[in-house]
Amino acid sequence: MYTFTKEERLCNKRLIDGLFHNGSSFLCYPFRASWQLTDAVQKFPVQILFSVAKKRYKHAVDRNLIKRRMREAYRLQKQTAIYEALTAADKKIILSVGYIGKEILPYDVLEKKMLKVLTQLAAEVVK
């Protein structure tokens, strides 16, 4: 239910390149989401990756902190926010969420924003 295993992460380099070249994307501050429909055989309806630009945050500690908070927010909300909608529509996607905020937001704010992103994404994919 609240798992986040390797199958749920996007690891394949070719898929990632394809996603950033051909995928659709939208902004929802402080995130930038890119997604693409896929035919690949995967256990979960979504394969996701999180990214924080090194240009914006110079220290690895800061990048780790943001990525961990994003991951946690996704892990706890993915089931209700997006899995159910995608399963109902029988669609599978690969997804990347980049952080473009200028400062490190606390967890409770990130949680609300993440919910908003996922809801918007589910609406777009099903449409």
Partner RNA sequence: AUUGCAAAACGUUCUAUCGCUCCGUACUCAAAUGCGGGGAGGAAAGUCCGGGCAACAUAGAGCAUCCUGCUUCCUAACGGGAAGGCGCCCGCAGCGGGCGACAGCAAGUGCCACAGAGAAUAUACCGCCUGCAAGGGUAAGGGUGAAAACGUGAGGUAAGAGCUCACGGCUUUUCCGGGCGAUCGGGAUCGCGGUAAACCUCAGGAGUUGAAAAACCAAAUAGGUUCUGAAAGUGGGGCUGCUCGCUCCCGUGCCGAUCCGUCGGCCGUUAGAAUGGGUAGGUUGAUAAAGCCUGUUAGCAAUAACAGGACAAGAUUAAUGAUAGAAAUUCCCUCAAGGGAACACAGAACCCGGCUUACAGAUUUGCUGCUGUG
Contact range with RNA by CB under 7 A, out of 11-19, 21-29, 33-41, 81-89: 11-19
Which of the stretches 28-36, 78-86, 102-110, 118-126 binds RNA when contact is defined by CB under 7 A?
102-110
11 binds RNA (CB under 7 A): yes
CA dihedral 59, 62, 66, 68 (to 10 degrees): 100
Contact between 67 and RNA by CB under 7 A: the answer reads yes
- Amino acid identity, residue 119? T
Question: Where in the chain does DSSP place strands (E)?
Answer: 24-28, 31-37, 46-52, 93-99
Q: How far is the CB of 58 from RNA (least distance, A)?
A: 8
Does residue 21 belong to the site contacting RNA (CB under 7 A)? no
16 is written with which tokens? 């990632």
Counting Cβ atoms within 10 Å, is residue 3 exposed (0-12), middle (13-18) or buried (19+)? exposed
Specify the residue, 69 or 113, whose C-beta has the smaller distance to RNA.
Answer: 69
Residue for token pair 């529509």: 89
Record the tokens describing residue 32, joined without a space: 């930038």
Q: Of 13, 21, 102, 127, which one interacts with RNA (CB under 7 A)?
A: 13
Q: Which residues bind RNA (CB under 7 A)?
A: 1-6, 9-14, 16-17, 49-50, 59-61, 64-65, 67-69, 72, 75-76, 106-108
